[in-house]
């Protein structure tokens, strides 16, 4: 067949003539490399990361342990360890009440310092202020734990101003201290202690003296399931030394 009869072949030969020689040699070599890389196991093996601990660790002389030869170091243990019980509880309470973990950590630690079960502390604040540090109640109660100014000053004579009482650390310290005192007054009875926190111990004492139940609905709001993740409070109230 003549070149005129086979125009496609003629165009191919013309293209090959015009293509630089290095391209004509490099293309088949590159194609062979791709085929080898796909079809042979030697290439992945050669370029795979080295097995075993990294050189910087292997040559330190630190002993290996276990059948898999894993390196036991404090750094690696911290890297894969779960949260401590304290941090896990803080995260759970922060999620339950939709607050930040820093705020949850402050409340948790203040409750521990006062000897109050942290969950009870969170419940109290949820009812009192909905976690608003600058909350001012209709009757003049202040801050996270809604302390009355007179009560705050009775608890700490160095507290003088509204700003002093609203300061979150001071407010938590005094509020939880008062809650602890109320529960202790009623010999560990959490319900009565919570009611006394809200109504005052005199009102609770008068009701008990008459043989009446001092309940006004407040303890149900604090200890019941509503607004607390659907859970009834079943804790000890106070932490024992």
List the structure tokens of 24.
């004509």
The CATH number linked to 182 is 1.10.530.10
> Residue 128 belongs to what H/E stretch?
helix 118-128
Segment 21-33, tens digit of pLDDT: 655 555 565 565 5
Residues 219, 186, single domain; the answer is yes
Which residues sit opposite 64 in a β-bridge? 71
For range 160-176, the mean pLDDT? 97
Residues 125 and 179 in one domain: yes
pLDDT at residue 62 greater than cutoff 50: no
Range of the domain at 33: 1-48
Specify the pLDDT at position 150: 94
Catalytic residue of the set 92, 101, 128, 215: 128
pLDDT score, position 14: 60
Residue of higher predicted confidence among 162 and 40: 162
Spatial CB neighbours of 183, under 8 Å, sequence gap ≥ 6: 189, 190, 192, 193, 194, 237, 238
The per-residue pLDDT of the chain, averaged, comes to 81
Are residues 6 and 91 both part of a single domain?
A: no
Residue 240: inside a domain, yes or no? Answer: no
Q: 109-155: per-residue pLDDT in tens? A: 999 999 999 999 999 999 999 999 999 999 999 999 999 999 999 99
The CA-based angle 225-229-233, given to 5 degrees, is: 45
Is 92 known to be catalytic?
no
109 token code pair = 């630690």
**Which pLDDT score, from 0 to 100, does residue 241 have?**
75
Under the banding of pLDDT at 50, 70 and 90, the label for residue 83 is confident
Q: Are residues 191 and 106 in the same domain?
A: yes
Q: Is 236 within the bounds of a domain?
A: no
Q: Are residues 3 and 72 in the same domain?
A: no
**Count of the separate structural domains present in the chain:** 3
């Amino acid at each position: 067949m003549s070149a005129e009869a086979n125009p496609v072949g003629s165009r191919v030969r013309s293209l090959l003539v015009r293509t630089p020689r290095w391209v004509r040699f490099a293309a088949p070599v590159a194609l062979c490399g791709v085929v080898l890389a796909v079809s042979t196991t030697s290439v992945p093996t050669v370029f795979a990361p080295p097995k075993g601990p990294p050189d910087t660790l292997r040559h330190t002389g630190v002993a290996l342990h276990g059948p898999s030869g894993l390196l036991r170091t404090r750094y690696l243990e911290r890297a894969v360890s779960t949260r401590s019980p304290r941090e896990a509880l803080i995260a759970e309470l922060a999620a339950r009440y939709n607050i930040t973990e820093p705020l949850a950590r402050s409340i948790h630690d203040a409750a521990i310092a006062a000897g109050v079960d942290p969950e009870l502390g969170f419940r109290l604040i949820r009812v009192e202020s909905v976690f608003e540090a600058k909350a001012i109640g209709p009757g003049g109660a202040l801050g996270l734990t809604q302390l009355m100014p007179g009560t705050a000053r009775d608890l700490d004579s160095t507290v003088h101003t509204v700003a002093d009482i609203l300061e979150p650390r001071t407010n938590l310290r005094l509020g939880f201290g008062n809650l602890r005192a109320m529960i202790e007054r009623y010999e560990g009875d959490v319900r009565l202690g919570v009611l006394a926190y809200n109504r005052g111990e005199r009102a609770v004492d008068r009701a008990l003296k008459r043989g009446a139940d001092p309940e006004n609905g407040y303890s149900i709001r604090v200890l019941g399931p509503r607004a607390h993740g659907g859970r009834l409070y079943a804790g000890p109230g106070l932490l024992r030394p």
